[in-house]
Amino acid sequence: MLDLTPDELTDRAKTLDLPAQHHIDGTDEPGDGAAFAVVSPRDGQLLTRVADAGQAEVDHAVAAARRAFDAGPWPRLAPAERGRILLRMAELLEEHREELALTITLEMGKPITEAYAIELRAAITTFRWYGQLADKLTDESPHTASDALALVTREPTGVVGAVVPWNFPLTLASWKVAPALAAGCTVVLKPSESSPLSALHLGRIGTEAGLPPGVLNVVTGDGPTAGRAIGLHPDVDVLAFTGSTAVGRHFLRYSADSNLKRVWLELGGKSPNIILPDAPDLDRAAATAAWGIFFNQGEMCTAPSRLLVHSSIAERVTDAVVRRAEELRIGDPLDPATEMGALVGEAHLERVQGHVAAGRAQGARLRTGGERTLPDTGGSYLQPTVFDRVDAGMRLAREEIFGPVLSVLAFDDLDEAVRLANATEYGLAAGLWTSDLSTAHRVSRALKAGTVWVNCYEEGDLTVPFGGMKQSGNGRDKSAHAIDKYTELKTTWIQL
């Protein structure tokens, strides 16, 4: 696929069968007829109109999931059989890989090379990994006195409401759906209204793979209506959300105002990336810093948006990042040569531009970028942007921008670097570049972050958990630890 020309990919995109209906109880359903527009940030053109869920559609989806859990076969299947269906979902994702990659690129502006090689790879790997894990989970039998037998069993919690964002629409949906299904739960998935199409495909794929009706339902709609209805629904037992900290607070309130459902939150970030003078390769550290902030147009909760550099190397590193920013090829995300595509939409582009304006007004130095680009395309494109001389109190250093905007802060010693790194309400991720093993361990322990990358960034696989501290959320996606979110521990004490 990636050998195709931009014109060939554009022609294929025009022939896509874009789903436009909810997927509930194993079938596509139009709902009450209300619909919303899905506009491509690539060119500002209408892709399709998608069914807009209200309370009735959410009630229908939750009722289907409830029946499938309470009376259907899914929670009672042998774990190996559940795993087999998840493995089949991975196979079908691979079979539909080109179609899904094109869909993601059209709906949220990600370069096609990243949609195909990174996003789809992650989704396929996730379903395969949990499919293989499903029959390897174990219960416990603690040692007790000889006249009793104690059992601690993991049991599926019930109906899971999964609400996911637009920046990695299929990857983040997979991180919720796959472990929930492996545990024996049923799911109501609500994707972002900006990127609903790939999630609707996932619903169809689940049914084709053999999921019983009602096990995986996908409803499309906005957060204040459909998301709120899921959050407040008394028959939803668990809520798994990835998105902004502000919306995460809403879901906690919904839980308190309804049935005290468990709420697992993966929220925002303002991740520090610390480069020390003894970094093993300063050029690679600078190149990785640039890649990390501009990858996926900077629309990542883990984006290393605060570059903390020792003052003795700050100029060298910043100059290298600026050069890389100015070399990046920004363009049509359907062009395999494009390195940075479009931001998700006009409203988001305006928000990011507001942060750029605030940085200028507060006295940070704009080294490159900051302007809208490619206006003739009709798409939402922004130049890669680098500020230095950023003070820790500036908005640039405190607020999540969720765009290709880097803030460079200099420090003079290691203690100052750690203080700057932790001077944020967030605690999702961090990077550290050093050749000293003791420094690596000491600083990693001192950083308040759920993930610390040493001499790399955004590395890892499904074996390790992902999630945040502080206002970056709770709970963990990925790894066997994700199963914890979707299971209850039951103690059975048998007197012999």
The residue type found at 258 is S
Query: Looking at residue 340, what DSSP letter applies?
Result: B
Structure tokens at 159: 């109906």
399 annotated active-site: no
Catalytic, out of 98, 119, 301, 339: 301
d(CA 488, CA 237): 11
Query: Looking at residue 188, what DSSP letter applies?
Result: E
Residue 405: name the closest of 354, 469, 347 by CA. Answer: 354
Decide if 195 contacts 348 (C-beta within 8 A): no
Query: Looking at residue 212, what DSSP letter applies?
Result: P
Residue 33: name the closest of 57, 12, 16, 4 by CA. Answer: 57
User: Which residues, 6+ apart, have CB-to-CB distance to 327 below 8 Å?
Assistant: none
Angle at 222 between CA 401 and CA 12, to 5 degrees: 80
Residue given tokens 């130095």 in the structure block: 365
Catalytic, out of 266, 299, 339, 400: 266
Decide if 285 contacts 308 (C-beta within 8 A): no
Residue 3: name the closest of 336, 487, 394, 439 by CA. Answer: 336
* Helix H or strand E encompassing 433: strand 429-433
Decide if 158 contacts 238 (C-beta within 8 A): yes
301 annotated active-site: yes
Angle between helix axes 414-422 and 437-446 (nearest 10 degrees) is 30
First to last CA, the chain: 64
Cα dist from 399 to 345, 354, 395, whole Å: 20, 12, 6
DSSP-derived 3-state class of residue 239? strand
Q: What are phi and psi of 170, to 5 degrees?
A: -90, -40
127-143 CB burial, b ≥16 within 10 A, e <16? bbbbbebbeeeeeeeee
Structure tokens at 108: 């949220």
Q: List the catalytic residues.
A: 266, 301
